[in-house]
Amino acid sequence: MITVTDARKNYGSFAALDDVSLDIPSGSLTALLGPSGSGKSTLLRSIAGLEGLDSGTVTIEGRDVTNEPPQRRGIGFVFQHYAAFKHMTVRDNVAFGLTIRKRPKAETDKKVDELLEIVGLDGFRNRYPAQLSGGQRQRMALARALAVDPQVLLLDEPFGALDAKVRTDLRQWLRRLHDEVHVTTVLVTHDQEEALDVADRIAVLNKGRIEQVGDPVTLYERPANDFVMGFLGSVAHFGDQLVRPHDIVLERDRATALALDAKVAGSPGVVEAVVERVVPLGFEVRVDLRADSGARFAAQITRRDAADLQLREGETVHARAVGRSSVVEVDPALAI
């Protein structure tokens, strides 16, 4: 369990962390999600001890480490740009934490071999980081962090420097690794898809504050506010509310739309809109719409529904919102 209590950190007049409190359960994989400047990296680095807090405390597994240097916090840290020791072989990189602890060579070698096998780099022992790809380098960094048996594993945008395909593969690999190794893991990311994909808990940060903490489903379906809703997926301004584009249903017939809408308690009502564009996106079809009021929004419907509706540009449809759980009040400042 990692507990951060009332953490504050200012850079000049900029509040990177503004009274942040967060519990991270042992064995979980928690994502700190937020836009850049939201304080998520600062929070992670504070847990690691790489950044000092102005006030507040950090405890790791019941031990108050607020004033401990990173060396004595029992952490493993993985950086976005790998932070590989370029003058050392893969073996020496992974062994570093053990070598400086003066562990017997046989023990170190055994541990390194195990870890290299886990991260799939067993054939790369004697290579130098420059001879590895980005994905391989990051897996080496992960093995290096795991070598010292950390109580918590902290990952700062670990896949941020990799290209899209490698990133997806690696994060699923990380998820499987976590399921097997069970070390408490905190991952910083600005990519909501990545957070939803790997984490079992997500803390959404914005402007140095935590907006909401929860499991991915809760966050997606019951966002606490506009920010969380907007950050965890696409949204449409529907009437005076925010809804997910895939929760908008289009009907040709107004009466049908009204009748069906009446069954949804507290729905934002039926909006008459003109089809501006129909965009097939593979599995789904995006329909760009313009309401009477002039407000533009998009609905995402299945191919089958699109085929049934036979929508053409310039036609009028009646849109209604379902899935009330993801409907939140629109911040007046954001409303069109």
Number of residues that bind another protein (CB under 8 A): 62
CB of 174 to another protein, least distance (A): 10
For 158, residues 6+ apart whose C-beta sits below 8 A from its C-beta are 78, 79, 80, 138, 141, 142, 170, 174, 187
CB of 270 to another protein, least distance (A): 36
Radius of gyration of the chain (CA): 24
Strand order in the sheet with 236-238: 236-238, 241-243, 328-329
CB of 33 to another protein, least distance (A): 18
Dist. CA 101–CA 159, nearest whole Å: 29
CB of 310 to another protein, least distance (A): 30
In contact, 91 and 112? CB cutoff 8 Å: yes
Q: Which residues in 149-168 contact another protein (CB under 8 A)?
A: 149-150, 160-167
CB of 102 to another protein, least distance (A): 11
The piece of 142-150, 194-202, 273-281, 287-295 that touches another protein (CB under 8 A) is: 142-150
In contact, 86 and 29? CB cutoff 8 Å: no
Q: Which residues in 220-279 contact another protein (CB under 8 A)?
A: none
* Phi–psi pair at 25, nearest 5 degrees: -65, 150
Dist. CA 336–CA 333, nearest whole Å: 8
| Per CB under 8 A, 141 contacts another protein | yes
Identify which of residues 164 and 265 has a Cβ nearer to another protein in the complex: 164
The piece of 11-19, 170-178, 203-211, 320-328 that touches another protein (CB under 8 A) is: 170-178
| Per CB under 8 A, 125 contacts another protein | no
Q: Which residues in 11-50 contact another protein (CB under 8 A)?
A: 48, 50
Q: Is 246 in a helix, a strand, or coil?
A: helix
